[in-house]
Chains A and B, each alone.
Chain A
Amino acid sequence: MTASEIRALFAVVSRPEVVSLAGGMPAVTALPLDSVGSMIGALVSRLGAQALQYGSGQGDERLREQILQVMALEGITDASADEVVVTVGSQQGLDLLARVFLDPGDVILAESPSYVGALGTFQAAQAHVVHVDMDESGLVPEALAAALAGLAAQGRRAKFLYTVPNFHNPAGVTLSEPRREQILALAEAYDLLVIEDNPYGLLGFEHEPLRALRARNAERVIYLGSFSKTFAPGLRVGWVCAPHAVRDKLVLASEAQVLCPPALSQLVVAEYLDSQPWFEQVKVFRELYHERRDATLEALTALMPADVTWTRPEGGFYVWVTLPEGLDAKAMQPRAVHARVAYVPGIGFYADGQGTRHLRLSYCFPDPNRIREGVRRLAGVVEEELELRATFLGSSDERAVRRDASAPQGSAPGEVSSRTRGGQPHGQADTPGPDLP
């Protein structure tokens, strides 16, 4: 991994002067920390011999039973505890799936944009990610059909479709009810495996959760879940729900990596689900994030220059912002650091260098006043950048013509050979961790 300017610029995010709209850190201080603390203390006293010991590679049986109840809230009622593999966060689940399914050069399909942590895993497996367009209703079935047909025409097929259907990271959008059926119909038609990554599904603000893809098709969908957003990311407890044949391979791969998921964390989650009003707490989180989402959207509406657009999430943590034509969210970042506001530039959410005009804002962590202040600062940054761009690139038709005339023949759009800087490839290596503070 190379040292990168983006990562360097993120170092200031830890300072309190900076309003971070960058990291996807859940608001764990909204948990009843006293009662959780007492619960954990009592748990270790009572079950220390188990909690501090190695455990099963597949995960604690009691927890796997409870996970069935959690999944049932999103319509998954036909799963068995035997199909559930507990993982060290759903990130480990992603890694296990990549290890089990991917060989170098394999094609996988993912939304455009897609979750940076997943892209990193797929790229580490040397897979080729083909992005499929999405809009305000999520993945576009016609675009998926075209991608699948295009691959078929080349005699290739995708190993799987990776999708975050609810409150997408980073795009904030949700796959609509009719599209869920359309996507699954396409999966059937093309014999396509679907990986449904659903960490935010219970955190909707405006309606009950839509039925999961896994609830509609148990054979073709592998489901990833997590307690990071509904309880606590520090415990690192997630899960994969997969058909038996896949489950066996996942358990073997997981044992090779970590022997077993942490017993203490699993027992804490199990005890929390059993003894605490955990779903009431989810409602507390929903209200908190709802208020923060509203603060973000209101501030964006009030403060952002014209031509800046953004998505309207109905749940989850993220708003996806599109800057006016010509602006580059990565190049703008030093100005944002100077203004003491942080965001994640869009390019990290693509495997192919797209995304320069986009940035992700997270509203999950700062309180509404900080959010408004952060958006105010960001709006100033965008305005300054627009002014600068107008000075150097704005209205000079002559200069624009000269740029075109001097471009090397046959070069790709935007490809510039005579500028020498950075040498950073797009994507993962140049992007901070997805849940950076």
Chain B
Amino acid sequence: MSQGAPRAVVLSGGLAFEREVSLRSGRRVVEALRHAGVETSVADADANLLSTLAADPADALFIALHGAAGEDGSLRRVLELAGIPYVGTPADRCRIAWDKPSAKAAVRAAGHLTPDWVALPHSTFRELGAGAILDLMVARLGLPLLIKPAQGGSALGVERIGAAPDLPSAMVSCFAYGGTVLIERFVAGVEVAVSVLDAADGPQALPAVEIVPASGVFDYAARYTAGMTAYHTPARLEAEVSARVGQLAVEVHRALGLRDLSRTDAIVDADGGVHFLEVNVSPGMTETSLLPMSVAAAGLDLGRTLRGMVAAAASRGTIVTTV
């Protein structure tokens, strides 16, 4: 890190569906870092980015991009090529975390619960006949089902289906968000989000946030409209269950090779079973986002926490892996 105040660039915006959320996350991160004494500027992930960073290098980048480029590893790979240090998970590990079916498979292989699922591209339905496949899915996974894009966040395109006849039109809606749809058995229970901070002493789970959306579904509106969802931090779970929830998040972080920060979303069923849903390598940082809530509940200061990550990224530099 250079002498004097550390300098960070926060990346936000992008061209993904979650641009608006990313811009809000970015503003929050910039504000927190500046409060913590980090000289911070903001940049969009566009054609000017690399030349801007080359002309005026920062100590590290903080990626507040959500959705494709910010989370699928592609932008991080370019940063690695350019030798630009950044906060967060390395490019190659992002690919697995970003793809929900891949992440679920890896987490199940590590011995954890995750709701049964099928992930298929449009072409499979077209070639083999959608009706027969949907019937099979209902027969094997049961109802209700959760339909979600295999990649992407903020619950965009997510829908809960209670009756089989509603599946086809839900599939049409979901495929508008991406080429592969994840169909998942719906597990009823307490919805929790566990953030993990990964500093010098290894990954640590922060207090879980329990999510109680007024509408019953934690969709886009429920996530980003103040007052539409009640949050309980820490989650109202028995201590033993709470510990297992935290343990799951830390083990997911380790199993998928994540770095600096992550957020695991899970469901605790009526028997106390903890089911992994998905993990985020670029968690939301908006006013209503979950990681900042957990940071506050842990008695930590968001700005100082982020400053620590910027410092860690700056000191480790960038290891250019084999392309």
Residues of A within 8 A of B (CB): 1-5, 7-12, 15, 17-18, 328, 331-335, 337-338, 340, 385, 387-389, 391-393, 396, 398-399, 402-403, 406-407, 416, 418-424
Contacts and interface: CB of A to CB of B under 8 A. Distances in A.
For chain B, the bracket of interface size reads: 35 or more
A339 to B, nearest CB: 11
Nearest to A404: B165
A393 B175 CA distance: 13
B217 A421 contact: yes
B83 interface: no
Given A11-B19, A391-B126, A3 B176 contact: no
B31 to A, nearest CB: 19
A331 B173 contact: yes
B228 A2 contact: yes
B176 A334 contact: yes
B182 to A, nearest CB: 15
12 contacts: A1-B225, A5-B221, A335-B176, A388-B175, A393-B168, A396-B131, A398-B131, A418-B144, A420-B160, A420-B217, A421-B160, A422-B219
Given A8-B20, A331-B173, A385-B176, A423 B159 contact: no
Given A392-B134, A406-B163, A418-B166, 20 more contacts: A2-B228, A5-B156, A8-B18, A12-B19, A334-B17, A337-B17, A388-B122, A388-B172, A389-B172, A391-B125, A399-B168, A402-B165, A407-B165, A419-B162, A420-B159, A420-B160, A421-B158, A421-B160, A422-B221, A423-B221
B162 A420 contact: yes
A7 B17 CA distance: 10
A231 B122 CA distance: 49
Interface string B204-236: 000000000001110111111100100000000
Interface of B: 13, 15-21, 23, 44, 46, 122, 125-126, 130-131, 134, 144, 154, 156-166, 168-173, 175-178, 215-217, 219-225, 228
Nearest to A16: B46
Nearest to A336: B176
Nearest to A381: B176
Contacts of B13: 15
A392 B168 contact: yes
A86 B178 CA distance: 49
User: Nearest 9 CB-CB pairs, A to B?
Assistant: A418-B162, A11-B20, A3-B224, A11-B19, A392-B168, A418-B163, A421-B159, A420-B160, A403-B165
Contacts of B159: 419-421
A8 B170 CA distance: 20
Nearest to A430: B221
A188 B236 CA distance: 66
Nearest to A327: B172
Contacts of B224: 3, 8
A3 B220 contact: yes
Contacts of A18: 15
Contact of A393 (B126, B169, B217): B169
A436 B20 CA distance: 14
Contacts of A385: 172, 176
Contact of A387 (B126, B158, B165): B126
Most chain B CB neighbours (cut-off 10 Å) among A9, A423, A424: A423
A323 to B, nearest CB: 13
Contacts of A335: 176-177
Contacts of B228: 2
B15 A12 contact: yes
A15 B160 CA distance: 32
Most chain A CB neighbours (cut-off 10 Å) among B13, B126, B172, B223: B172
Nearest to A392: B168
A32 to B, nearest CB: 31
B130 to A, nearest CB: 5
B221 A3 contact: yes
A1 B227 CA distance: 11
Given A391-B122, A406-B163, A419-B166, A15 B221 contact: no
Contacts of B162: 418-420
A198 B164 CA distance: 49
Contacts of B163: 406, 418
A420 B219 CA distance: 9
Nearest to A416: B166
A409 to B, nearest CB: 14
B252 to A, nearest CB: 26
Contact of B172 (A17, A392, A422): A392
Most chain A CB neighbours (cut-off 10 Å) among B126, B173, B176: B176
A93 B44 CA distance: 38
A392 B223 contact: no
B17 A392 contact: no
Contacts of A398: 131
A406 B130 contact: no
A391 to B, nearest CB: 5
A407 B117 CA distance: 27
Contacts of B131: 396, 398-399
B37 to A, nearest CB: 30
Nearest to B168: A392
B220 A8 contact: yes
Contacts of B154: 8
B156 A15 contact: no
A210 B228 CA distance: 49
Nearest to B44: A15
